[in-house]
Structures are given as C-alpha cells and as structure tokens.
Amino acid sequence: MKTKLLVFAFAGFVFVRCSEPKIDNTVPHDMSHSDKLNNPTMIEINIAKENTIKNMQEAYKGEITAIAKYTAFSKKAEQEGYPQIALLYKAVAVAESIHAKNHKAVIEASGANVPVITPEYVVKLTKENLHDDIEGEAYEGITMYPNFLKLAKEAENNEAFVSLTYAMKTENKHKVFFEKALGDINSNTLLSLPSVYYVCPVCGDTYETQVPDHCDFSNTPKEQFIKINSL
C-alpha cells in the first residue's frame, strides 16, 4: 500500500508524517472488542481533535495567567528581601511566556480563536506563594498536561503534542525549583539559590547556572538560550 510523506515545521523543527493510506473498499471482518478499543472511529478521532484544541485554549489561558502571576510574585519576593527567589520567578515567567507562544501557534493553525483573558490571582507572602505554586506545577505536570497529551495523541495532532510535551516537562522542573526555594526559606539558606538562569527560547526549558550544549527537550543550541541574571 502506497503512502505519501507530509513534511511540516513546528517550533524550529521539521517533522515527517505519513498521509493516510488509500481506503480499502473490501468489506472488513467483524471487529472484536479489543480491535474496537485500539482502532477508534473517525467520529471518535474528530471529537478528540475538537477537544484537543479546547485543551490548548485552556492551557494557553493557564500560561497567560502564570506569566502575570509569577511576575507579580517576583516583585513581592523582592519587596520581602528575597532577590534570589525574585529572580527564579522572573525566569519561570519567561518560560511560561514561551509555552503560551507555542500554544497560541497551535490554536491559530487550527483556525480556532485565541482566548483573551484578564488573569486572576492573589499575591500572598512569598512563602505562601511558593507553597501554592508547588501544588499548581504538580497538577499541571502530573495530571493536566498528561491528560491533554493523551487526547492530542488520539487526535493525531503532532503540533499540539509537541507544545504540550515541552510545557509538561518544564513545569515538572519548575516544581523542583520552587520546592528548593521554599526549603531554603525554611532553613534560612537562601544564599545557596542560583544567581543566574537560562531559558530555552523554543521550549521554555529552564536551567540553573550551567547549561548543556543543547537543550535537553528541543535540542536548541545553548548559544540561543535567554540569560536571566538581573531583576
């Protein structure tokens, strides 16, 4: 059976995907229950495609809110005398802006509307903010994004899958950064926190102090990384 290769670009990379093979007009045999589970119908695939774009819209709104929230939390940490934590929040806000840009590109490519929202959040004491952020990043990295990825795979939406994967992996790293910062507040060892961060401009992956030659997630050269060492 012949197939055609379709080539498309996303986030600086080229992906190759096979087009659907020609339809076989022979009458198929009755599918078993397991066959039906492993072979979704076109209706199911179309539903997955629609819901994947809805998920991308929700993810985009979450990232836009995170940008505003972490920017405000950075200012709050600086006011409280935690410049190292303020710098961390600034770096994370930059990473979230890259996730938002990637999500937006997927939404626009689908022809759907990009949500316009007014971010809502509450600025608390830095210690409380960190605690809330640890829970928030854990939810995104462990629950929300994995569920979105499962549906994107069913929808065969590779662009969405890539964007969601970048965000999920990065959110898991942010959670670790926030846990370390909270632990340092509790133990009064804030001077051990990094004084510089690097953010991959393609996927948002965030690094402390030292970076690899290429991004672990997107393979972007380190020379392109965004350096954040001042407020």
Q: For position 22, what pLDDT does the model report? A: 42
Predicted confidence (pLDDT) at residue 126 exceeds the cutoff of 50: yes
**Domains of the chain in sequence order:** 42-189 (1.20.1260.10)
Average pLDDT over residues 95-101: 98
Which pTM does this prediction carry? 0.82
Q: For position 227, what pLDDT does the model report? A: 98
Predicted confidence (pLDDT) at residue 49 exceeds the cutoff of 80: yes
Q: For residue 120, report the phi and psi dihedrals to the nearest 5 degrees.
A: -120, 130
HSE, side-chain direction, 13 A CA sphere, residue 84: 17
Amino acid at 121: Y
Q: For position 32, what pLDDT does the model report? A: 46
Predicted confidence (pLDDT) at residue 29 exceeds the cutoff of 60: no
Which tens digits make up the pLDDT trace of 130-167?
Answer: 999 999 999 999 999 999 999 999 999 999 999 999 99
The closest of 54, 55, 74 to 148, measured between CA atoms, is: 55
Average pLDDT over residues 39-50: 89
Average pLDDT over residues 183-206: 93
Tokens representing 110 are 């689908």
The closest of 157, 169, 67, 44 to 107, measured between CA atoms, is: 157
DSSP letter for each residue of the chain: ----EEEEEETTEEEEEEPPPPPP-SPPPPPPHHHHHHS--HHHHHHHHHHHHHHHHHHHHHHHHHHHHHHHHHHHHHHTT-HHHHHHHHHHHHHHHHHHHHHHHHHHHHTPPPP----------HHHHHHHHHHHHHHIIIIIHHHHHHHHHHTT-HHHHHHHHHHHHHHHHHHHHHHHHHHHHHHT-GGGS-S-EEE-TTT--EEES---SB-TTT--BGGGPEEE---
Q: For residue 206, report the phi and psi dihedrals to the nearest 5 degrees.
A: -120, 135
Confidence of residue 38 (pLDDT cuts 50, 70, 90): low
How far, in Å, CA of 42 to CA of 53, rounded? 17
